[in-house]
Chain A
Amino acid sequence: MTPQSDSPLLLMEEISKVYRVGQEEVYALRSVSLAIGRNEYVAIMGPSGSGKSTMMNLIGCLDTPSSGRYLLAGRAVQELDEDELAAIRNREIGFVFQTFNLLPRSTAAGNVELPLIYRGLPAAERKRRVAGAIARVGLSDRATHRPNQLSGGQRQRVAIARALVTEPSLILADEPTGNLDTATGEEILRAFAEIHRGGNTVVLVTHEEDVARHAQRIIRLRDGRVESDSAV
């Protein structure tokens, strides 16, 4: 569980993902290998159909590869069962989605608290951590608001707080600015930059060049393969 500091946080070796469509086998990813180290800020880019979403699902342990090896924080993900995957998502990954994916009936604080409930932390500890995470995204005065009482940018910041609150190894963002106007999008990207400066590893999946340029490194996918992998 505690890898040496020089080993990558995330290591993919010969990862393929095959879907069956009728009689045909469709490769979403073909033998992709890549490594992402701790405290990197990486953007994964590609047009639709490039395997970008599949990549994001695999990195996020929402799905398992058809073949190949995936190590996340030292654990072989392809060997885990459903509940172990849930546990690894809970501990190692903080998701930020394009559509925010907040629970509409819970308050901002309630949404942020949810992953801690699933981790089984005691209430006092949860409260402390939720307050910290919400303060970090600058929403302390909105903690008791429900998502529909918040602006898009505020909602996304609640989602970021939810991702940060578990202190995960990896913040995984899927088009986090896709539903926001440019100014708000910039604001969210500044928040990611700050998180990265704070020592977190950030992986950002996007199809927008402007957004990807905020990262240190860009991995481009095309037709299920890595087309290029370079520093910005």
Chain B
Amino acid sequence: MKFLEAVRLALSSLWSNRLRSFLTVIGNVVAVLSVVVVVSVIQGLDRFVAKEIKTTGADVFCFTKIGFVMDYEEFMRQLKRPDLRLDQAEQIAPLLRQSEVVVPRLDRELSVRYASRSARSVRIAGVGAGYDRVADLPLAAGRHLGELEIEGREAVAVVGDGIREKLFLNEDPLGRSIRLGRQRYRVIGVIEKRGGTMDESRDDQIFVPISALRRQAGGRGSIDIYVKAAAGASLEEAQEEASLQLKIARGLDPWDEPDFALVTDEQAYQLYESASRGIYGLLVGVVSLSLLIGGIVIMNIMLVAVTERTREIGIRKAIGARRQDIVAQFLVEAVVLAFFGGLLGVGLGVVGALLVAKLTPLPASVQLWSVLVGLLLASSVGLFFGIYPAHRASRLAPIEALRAEG
């Protein structure tokens, strides 16, 4: 009862100083806003990335020229490595006993046309036989590239659902001829829609025989080599064996450092996770700083309020307010102030998250826990930084306070 009374009083005194109250809590607004938006974006990113990165099976690994490098010099060093070549993939394939599939892949970006419609910079994956076994590529229609088509450099293509949608609208693409760059390809399959939303999602890819793509676009550029460990084999042993054979194929000795990188989806995911942890770290920093600044501003304004209302404090003391009553009054006021800053932050944060979800491909959605954490943090700041002003107010001597102006 007394608490509600204090809240009512606090609200009316904050309302009578609306602009000042608003300016006072900007720190809290920013802090809670950041919590709500960043958490919603990262949660969206998490879901997105988990779906997007984990496309291959857990038993698949990939050799590539440049691995996940975090610094520029290392990147430049790896850039000078000799390319991975198709013949190296072909050379190691029959030698691997721990693995069952070796698939070379060469990526190009080409514009794609069908009738009057076109799409620019589409990722064309030139792949070897078995590509549908190292990645999860369920068909919606038609069939996958056949071994003979791949060997025979035939101009056939399996398109992602995004490409189908863009170029064919409601038409059936099977058997139609599309142009990849200058070359015509016949569509023989469509991959099921996966719903990834980033630009390079599977839905926007086209798979063609690597041989055909090389003939059309040249053999230059490093390929990636996907390897699937044999059923029952240990992934580690399969990786070791394949690395060794690739070193030999590339003219290295077995004890040399490899001049290529071995990557897995798991690694990619870990890389992402460490990056998102970094963002969370940054969030903690931003939030702590805005809360600290916000808290100091709140403390300052509460000290001003105590000075302005010295007379009021005197009156309250004269008619029987104890120290704890005065402390409670000013603490409640500080917490209510801070809490409303938090609410404002939540409101703006929800708007922010909705905007992110609408304007970017990230499925950002507001997390209830981030709202609660934000409000809790904001209120705690009010409580903590309200202690000193409230204490000051409670210690005013009643006769001095009654003598004050106002």
Task: Please report A residues at the B interface, Cβ cutoff 8 Å.
Answer: 57, 60, 62-63, 82-83, 86-87, 89-91, 95, 97, 101-103, 105, 114-115, 117-120, 122-123, 162, 166
| Closest chain A CB from B309 CB (angstroms) | 9
- B13, B319, B323, B399, most chain A CB atoms within 10 A: B319
| Closest chain A CB from B9 CB (angstroms) | 8
Question: B398 at the A/B interface (Cβ < 8 Å)?
Answer: yes
Is there an interface contact between B319 and A114, defined as CB atoms closer than 8 Å?
Answer: yes
Contact A118:B12 (CB < 8 A) given known A103-B312, A123-B1: no
Total chain B interface residues with beta-carbon distance under 8 A: 24
Binary contact track B133-177/A, C-beta < 8 Å → 1, others 0: 000000000000000000000000000000000000000000000
Is there an interface contact between B13 and A105, defined as CB atoms closer than 8 Å?
Answer: yes
Candidates A57, A86, A122; contact of B321 at CB < 8 Å: A86
Is there an interface contact between B13 and A87, defined as CB atoms closer than 8 Å?
Answer: no
Question: B318 at the A/B interface (Cβ < 8 Å)?
Answer: yes
| Closest chain A CB from B21 CB (angstroms) | 14
CA distance A102 to B1 in the complex (A): 22
Q: Which residues of A contact B13 (CB under 8 A)?
A: 105
Is there an interface contact between A89 and B318, defined as CB atoms closer than 8 Å?
Answer: yes
| Closest chain A CB from B308 CB (angstroms) | 12
11 contacts between A and B (CB under 8 A): A62-B402, A63-B398, A83-B323, A86-B321, A86-B322, A89-B320, A101-B314, A103-B315, A103-B316, A114-B319, A117-B2
Question: B247 at the A/B interface (Cβ < 8 Å)?
Answer: no
Question: B325 at the A/B interface (Cβ < 8 Å)?
Answer: yes
CA distance A62 to B397 in the complex (A): 8
Candidates A95, A102, A118; contact of B325 at CB < 8 Å: A118
Task: Please report B residues at the A interface, Cβ cutoff 8 Å.
Answer: 1-2, 5, 12-13, 16, 311-312, 314-325, 397-399, 402
| Closest chain A CB from B200 CB (angstroms) | 61
CA distance A60 to B398 in the complex (A): 11
Is there an interface contact between B2 and A120, defined as CB atoms closer than 8 Å?
Answer: yes
CA distance A91 to B5 in the complex (A): 21
Q: Which residues of A contact B5 (CB under 8 A)?
A: 117
Candidates B2, B315, B317, B399; contact of A86 at CB < 8 Å: B317
| Closest chain B CB from A162 CB (angstroms) | 7
CA distance A114 to B8 in the complex (A): 13
| Closest chain B CB from A170 CB (angstroms) | 13
Q: Which residues of B contact A123 (CB under 8 A)?
A: 1
Q: Which residues of A contact B397 (CB under 8 A)?
A: 63
Contact A87:B320 (CB < 8 A) given known A105-B13, A120-B2: yes
CA distance A82 to B12 in the complex (A): 29
Residue of A with least CB distance to B318: A95
CA distance A162 to B319 in the complex (A): 9
CA distance A63 to B401 in the complex (A): 12
The 9 closest A-B pairs by CB, nearest first: A90-B320, A118-B320, A115-B319, A86-B322, A83-B322, A101-B315, A62-B398, A62-B399, A89-B320
Is there an interface contact between B319 and A95, defined as CB atoms closer than 8 Å?
Answer: yes
Q: Which residues of B contact A82 (CB under 8 A)?
A: 322-323
